[in-house]
Amino acid sequence: MILTIVKYPDPVLSRRGEPVTEFDADLRKLIADMFETSYASQGVGLAAPQVSVSKRLAVIDLSMGKDPKDRLVLINPEIIFRDGKIYEDEGCLSFPDIREKVVRAAKVRVRAQDENGQWFEMEGEDLLSRCFQHEIDHVDGMLFIFRMSALKREFALRKIRKMQRNGEW
């Protein structure tokens, strides 16, 4: 089922997600729906708050559905190591048409649970590193515009206000 992706400034996006404690059929259904929703929007990642579920859960698939091995589920995730710096264009499904450069760590190590509740650790570099940081920010209630420089954020917010006025947001 394709879920509705909420846009900024929906308050659920700025709320810290609740830890996931039940690894049951409802959780697996939500995860399947989140992958389907992400693919339908040609996204590489989606966090539960973006579909109005205030929980610490995100899905990532850099292949956008082409390679099942790329499907990653991060539950109760945290970044336990970061190294280096990258500065690349970033977008977000909750900010359609906004793309701006954001500083991120070039490499991170993440600790999370999978859909069965098993803890695992995983490293990511470049795009995957960026994705980990972007999605884990979402479950913390942090949005990528607040990682931009003040000038770029002001520019993005002005563009959003203009789109809101024109009924395009």
Of residues 64, 129, 78, 73, the one with CA closest to residue 102: 129
Which residues are annotated as catalytic?
Answer: 135
Cβ closer to Zn ion: 74 or 92? 92
Q: Could you tell me the smallest distance in angstroms from the CB atom of residue 112 to Zn ion?
A: 17
CB 75, CB 90: distance < 8 Å: no
Cβ closer to Zn ion: 92 or 105? 92
| Other C-beta atoms lying within 10 Å of the C-beta of residue 85 | 10
Phi/psi-derived region of residue 108, left when phi > 0, alpha when psi is between -120 and 50, beta in every other case: beta
CB 54, CB 15: distance < 8 Å: yes
Cβ closer to Zn ion: 27 or 48? 48
What residues between 77 and 96 interact with Zn ion by CB under 5 A?
A: 92
Rounded Cα–Cα distance for residues 7 and 51 (Å): 9
Rounded Cα–Cα distance for residues 146 and 26 (Å): 32
| Nearest residue relative to Zn ion (C-beta) | 92
Q: Could you tell me the smallest distance in angstroms from the CB atom of residue 93 to Zn ion?
A: 6
Q: Could you tell me the smallest distance in angstroms from the CB atom of residue 103 to Zn ion?
A: 16
Contact between 102 and Zn ion per CB under 5 A: no
Rounded Cα–Cα distance for residues 168 and 78 (Å): 35
Q: What one-letter code names the amino acid at 56?
A: R
Q: Could you tell me the smallest distance in angstroms from the CB atom of residue 138 to Zn ion?
A: 6
| Binding footprint of Zn ion, residue count (CB under 5 A) | 1
Cβ closer to Zn ion: 57 or 92? 92
Residue ranges in contact with Zn ion by CB under 5 A = 92
